[in-house]
Structure 1
Amino acid sequence: METQTWIQISADSDFSYHNIPFGVFSTACNKEDARPATRVGDFIIDLREAERQGLLNGELFSKLSHKVFQGKTLNSFMELTRPHWQEVRRTIQSLLHVGSALDTNKELQSKVVIPYTDKIILHLPAQIGDYTDFYSSYTHAYNVGVMFRGKDNAIQPNWLHIPIGYHGRASTVVVSGTDIHRPRGQAKPPTAEKPIFTECKRLDYELEVAAFVGGPANKMGEPVKVDSAEDRVFGFVLMNDWSARDHQAWEYVPLGPFNGKNFGTTISPWIVTLDALEMFRVDLEPQNPEPLPYLKEKRHTSWDINLEVYLHADGNTKADILTKSNYKYMYWNIAQQLTHHSVGGCILNAGDLLASGTISGPQKHEFGSMLELSWQGTEKIALSEGKERTFIQDNDQIIMKGFAEKNGIRVGFGECAGKVLPALPENKYY
């Protein structure tokens, strides 16, 4: 029997009754008053006010000695355990049922439920302590390897044994809707004798899904075991890891990505929980060679999440779809990434962000970056209205979307969007 809810939710909404994502919002009349919330259809439920009104007092939640939704981020809530997150999600769902307190008490409803309009401002959902980006899609790793090393050496010997990653820059992770300036930096064109200081000529997107770490931190020196690693995953967001390919190509030897990857990273504002995505879990192909024991799971899985990337070219009336991929195109999954991250004893704190790396499928339209779609700039990408691209131009907007759908149930992420502004004048630098 279908659950009867008093709130109207369209069938194609990303924010269905089955979702209940977590985020942070404020309103245009009081931009600084950021507070935790969830979104249902075209409404926001103010979790700070719901907590004040005693609406969230489940068995576990009522035993807490402190409030968790009174701050400007979700970190206090994220520091709890997965059973706490599950209980709050179920409690919110119960408040949507016909006959609930929010249904029958209109005064209470007016305090807690807010229409989602253009007056709503969305913020980063958490204070991000550390940010790590992985490199876990086989097709992406293979494509990039072919471009730079040839088919015979496309996959490095360690890639099939270890989740490769690098430490990114948390200070420039921004919420969807934030403009990104084209970066300047060092590059060495193929025909140049020495490097030059220049604006990025090969600006790219990377389609990723990122996990927010939650739960009590592990102690320094104590790793997280792979079969319990998902209990440390608070939920997922979409991510665009903006990339300055020409700067990256010059600087990455011998220590890997640096300024070519740290000038801006955009995430979607609503964190979708693993519990909301459970029905979309899928088995992945067996890994070959078999992972070392600390990375070998009882069941190797990911989630069937459709991922799309649109480019709204400067001056065009509509956006063009560039990529249609899926989160199931992962070789190393989030449990293995998180476990490997901690294997040496690294502390993982609530609010840390772990990104998947570019997610590319086997077909060309599933490639998760323009580097792949244009094959390192050698092939033009046709757009509508007579335009074409190899990489992102000034005033282009990149829009990412993600959703899972099965048996009439839809769970989505909303948008992860950002517009590219021209580089700052050179006289700003020296």
Structure 2
Amino acid sequence: MQIGIDQLAFYTPKTYLDLVDLAHARGEEPDKYRIGIGQYEQAVIPVTQDAVTLAANAAVKVVNETNRDQIAMILFGTESGIDHSKSAAVYLKRLLNLPDNLRAVEIKQACYGATAGLQFAHDYVRLHPDKQVLVIGADIARYGLNTPGEVTQGGGAVAMTISAAPKLLNLDNETAFRSEDIMDFWRPLYRTEALVDGRFSENVYIDFFKTVWLDYQRQTNRTIADFTAFAFHLPFTKMGLKALRAVLPEADAEQQKQLKTNFEASRQYNRRVGNLYTGSLYLSLRSLFDNAVLKPGQRIGLFSYGSGAEGEFFSGTISEQFDAQQSRQRFSEFFSSRQQLTMAQYERLFSQQLPDHDVLLDVTHDDARFVLAGIKHDQRQYLDRNKA
């Protein structure tokens, strides 16, 4: 029985910053960001969007009347949770009008949370092949204005349905994972911006990738020759390129060329959106599906990494039903419709934060279906414009 990713959708607001403008404003050469970091643009998230609304705006693209009653679980990976106690998945379940007889759980381990959800979903569907699981990765990456991490900010959400007989990717059963208590990135409960030891985190990322890649090879007896492409967690796209270069010598010249070409396809969306934390790997996978020349049966390797730290290498084969044409068109339309912000607009939007008390937000500048309208009696007020 084949189990894997049936649908994979993405959402981020239309407001974005061109990193050439950011470089000029911060006294840096644009190529430091465009080539050295591998980023061109980054999404800027308004105060009327949070992890829940981002997830809902992505999930409505994969949840409809044909599969609504099949969904037995929501697994919501995020490190941008809105409550110390209540799961973001419960809010999402209501916004999507899903049945009450399902599980709704939030998962946290830095950028790895959505992958944990994917693997749990895989095991569940194996036992319940008539059901589907909705897996979410939704985050807002914030490091602060005029900080070293500013260039790697961003945000958005991916939504995946995991099912039997999937239309996109059949997941292999074998997987290799590793976890260690490492302080390369963290955000204490009292902070809205993350703390990161950048160079150390890059080294840990590469070390984890090489370790789980070797473990995967020992388990499966597969080699790099068995892979058409790799998709990576991309906090910034140069990071994935560094990981790919660590294993390229294992491939012959022809395959090295193919792997590099497909990596370029896999980072097209990420370099224009920025860091998604839990959703980053899966936006890269979506970009690979849409921008590479792929065929059913080809094997894709995926590397997930969450600082703190946890890493996993797993794989899957392209489904016989694979067709990326509609997704490719939607992304093309999305990028052409975005609103570029000036530096002043970006800094003003970035600095708007929810207060610690009740507030009514102006949602007229946010055209999303789901928005955060404010706080009342310490409860977030979500608006579905289709029901307003």
Give 1 or 2: higher helix fraction.
Answer: 2
TM-score by length of 2: 0.26
Structure with bigger gyration radius? 1
Highest RCO, 1 vs 2 (Cα 8 Å, sep ≥ 6) = 2
TM-score for the superposition, normalised by structure 1: 0.24
